[in-house]
Every structure is written in structure tokens, then in C-alpha cells.
Amino acid sequence: DTGVSQNPRHKITKRGQNVTFRCDPISEHNRLYWYRQTLGQGPEFLTYFQNEAQLEKSRLLSDRFSAERPKGSFSTLEIQRTEQGDSAMYLCASSRFDRDGNTIYFGEGSWLTVV
Amino acid sequence: RKEVEQDPGPFNVPEGATVAFNCTYSNSASQSFFWYRQDCRKEPKLLMSVYSSGNEDGRFTAQLNRASQYISLLIRDSKLSDSATYLCVVLGPSSASKIIFGSGTRLSIRP
């Protein structure tokens, strides 16, 4: 499978614990995005990278959230001291941004439940 | 005002009907537009890009109106399998712009 891969697919954690999600983008894609989605809402932008550089972070991304893409390939999203409001699906997407466009492709998402 | 706005629906139409959705965007300099389809508890998947001249893919037609800052999606001869949430997606004006999603329009096709 050469699509965007995310793991774990499901995570249940107790409030206050830390969680980390990993995303492996499509190999030739230079951009990688993280979104959060709750039921009935569209994906909310969290942050994105071009290669290893983090170009933008949403104000939604509190200091408990951190994302990295150390070698410009896979990325991790860590949530520290989780809260019940963090329960959502965390979507990773990647794209090959060039003058021909910027179509993005999503992974299947990582579902987080904070209890 | 939200950067990308959609009517959440739900649109409940009979099989075979024609249905249309609009999506408005706030940044007049936005450069690229897409429609994504999302099934329940699944990831969004690209349905089609939206070009300035309008484009068609089978039963689906997408149009862009820059003057009024909206894009539209028309589905003809709707099928039961078209039931899903349709997300409007907008890319901002610069190469460093992020991609913004609307909240989605729910469509339900009844037999």
C-alpha cells in the first residue's frame, strides 16, 4: 500500500496521559498536514510541514500539542496531558506541492478517546 | 466569518434526482478549490478539483464563481451510493497557504 499510513488507528487513554501518533506520507510528497476532526465537523487545520520545516501552526494547537517531521519523511503528533476535549479523529494528509497543483491525500485517521 | 462555509444539510433527495451544493470562501485571492467526499467514520477522499472554466466528471459538475466567491457541486441522476458528506476545500493565495475545509454538506439519497 503506497498511501498515507497512520498508526495507531485507535487509542484509548486516560486523562492526563501523553499520546503520540505517527504518519507516514506518500513517499514523493513534500508536504504533510495534520488535521483534527470531530463528529459533524469538517477537518480543522492543526499544522503542516514542507519537507522538515513546520510552516504553520494553528492557534488550536495549544502548547500541549507538538508535531515533528525530523527528516522530512514521517511525522509524529504528540499530545501531552490529554484532556477529554482532545477526543477526536486525527487525520494526516500529504501532498506534492508544485506548480501543477496541491492535491492532498489523507490517511485513514487515528481515533483518540480520552476517558 | 468562517474562511469556508457550507450549508450543513442534510439534503435528503430521491434516487435519480439532481442536487446541488454551494460553498463560499472569504479570501478572494484563494487559488485552488476541491470537492472531497467523506463517508461516515472514514477519511476524506478527493472527488474532483474545481477549475475556473468549470469541469465535469460523469454525473458530477463543479463550477467556480470568483466574482461571488463560491464554488458549486452538481450531482445528476443521484445514486444511493452518493450518500455521504461533501467537503469543500480551499487553498489560499500563496505557496505557503494552508488548505482549509468547510464543515461539509450531508447528502442522503433515498430509494
- Per-residue 3-state assignment (H helix, E strand, C coil) for A44-78: EEEEEEECCEEEEECCCCCCCEEEECCCCCCEEEE
How far apart (Å, rounded) are the C-alpha atoms in residues A89 and A112?
6
All residues of chain A having their beta carbon less than 8 Å from the beta carbon of residue B98 are 33, 45, 48, 56
**pLDDT for the residue A96:** 83
**Closest residue on chain B to A40 (Cα):** B103
Calculate the dihedral angle through the C-alpha atoms of B25, B69, B27, A89, rounding to the nearest 10 degrees. 20
User: Which of A23, A44, A36, A45 lies closest to A87, judged by CA?
Assistant: A36
**pLDDT for the residue A100:** 58
**pLDDT for the residue A101:** 64
Per-residue pLDDT at A1 exceeds 60: no
- Partner residue facing A106 (CB), from B32, B34, B44: B44
Residues A100, A110 contacting (CB under 8 angstroms): no
How far apart (Å, rounded) are the C-alpha atoms in residues B27 and B36?
20
Question: E-assigned strands of B2-98?
Answer: 4-6, 11-14, 19-25, 32-38, 45-50, 55-57, 60-65, 70-75, 84-91
Each as own residue / partner, the long-range contacts of residues B40-45 (CB below 8 Å, 24 or more positions apart, any chain) are B40/B84, B40/B85, B41/A89, B42/A108, B42/A109, B43/A91, B43/A106, B43/A107, B43/A108, B43/A109, B44/A43, B44/A91, B44/A106, B44/B87, B44/B101, B45/A106
**pLDDT for the residue B98:** 80
User: Which of B89, B93, B91, B101 lies closest to A102, judged by CA?
Assistant: B91
In chain B, which residues have pLDDT < 50?
A: none
pLDDT digits (tens, 9 = 90+) for A29-88: 989 999 999 988 899 999 999 999 998 888 877 899 999 998 889 999 999 999 999 999
**pLDDT for the residue B31:** 84
Verify whether the Cβ–Cβ distance B96 to A56 is below 8 Å. Answer: yes
All residues of chain A having their beta carbon less than 8 Å from the beta carbon of residue B46 are 103-105
